[in-house]
Structure 1
Amino acid sequence: MSITAFTRSVSDVAAESGVAPSAVRFYEQHGVITAIRTQGDQRRFDDSAACRIRVAKVAQRVGLTVREIAEIFAALPADPQPDDWGRVATTLIDEAESRTAALKAYLTDMRGGGRLCEIEV
């Protein structure tokens, strides 16, 4: 991807993704999105930054850490296409289903009336 594709400012990405500017910087710091610096040392992001943040917010609701999300996004090309996002969706769905199954098992164990400290985690 060429440098000219990095045209969005922190405030642009914040507005497009529905987060505060500080969150944009947080996601960049943790590798969820990537910026380049202008000669004036301002961050500039590509067109996928807001989408990546919105997907990251969903992934966080599933229970993934920012580090796990950054690892998933590391496999994305610079200009993700629908098939690329489809693979991310499959990963998130699989993770959500796995975590849901584990939570249901914990609920069953907690309802069993046994000692909570004996539940296997």
Structure 2
Amino acid sequence: MFTLSVGDVAAASGVASSAVRFYEQHGVITAVRTAGDQRRFDEGAACRIRVAKVAQRVGLTVREIAEIFAGLPDDPQPADWGQVADTLIAEAESRTAALKSYLNDMQSAGRLCEIDL
């Protein structure tokens, strides 16, 4: 189960080893410790990091991503990932709508300091 090293997860997810430790520290992924105090991750860690990177591009914080992932079972199935995707899509659409509203407000030739946030 928990057999992948930090380097393995980093290579599989396309991030630096320090990023793997960062995501673990913030609850996006979980590790167990060996007798030699080395971190070991399960096969899903790289997938979670890749999804987290997409979520960050949408604008979610690492804390928000960890909260979304907290609802996933230990061995997420496609339907579970579908729910995560639905959440990310809804969040992206909401943030896009807010950004469009801000753009419209800025183009209205009003005073920028009077834009409602």
- TM-score interval (norm. to shorter): over 0.9
Distance 1:48 1:75 in 2: 15
Deviations 1:89-112 (A, max 9, x none): 000000000000000000000000
Find the partner of 2:59 among 51, 57, 63: 63
**Structure-1-length-normalised TM-score:** 0.96
User: How far apart, CA to CA, are the structure 1 residues paired with 2:43 and 2:69?
Assistant: 15
Gaps of 5+ in 1: none
Q: 2:44 aligns with which of 44, 48, 52?
A: 48
Superposition pairs of residues 1-121 of structure 1, within 5 angstroms = 5-121=1-117
> Kindly, what percent of the aligned residue pairs are identical?
81
Paired letter, 2:63: R
CA RMSD of aligned residues (A): 0.3
Aligned-partner Cα distance in 1 for 2:26–2:77: 23
Gaps of 5+ in 2: none
Equivalenced residues, count: 117
1:18-51 CA-to-partner distances (Å, cap 9, x unmatched) read: 0000000000000000000000000000011000
| Secondary structure class of the residue paired with 2:32 | strand
TM-score by length of 2: 0.99
Runs of 4+ in structure 1 deviating by more than 4 angstroms, as ranges, are none
Q: Distance in 2 between matches of 1:79 and 1:19?
A: 22
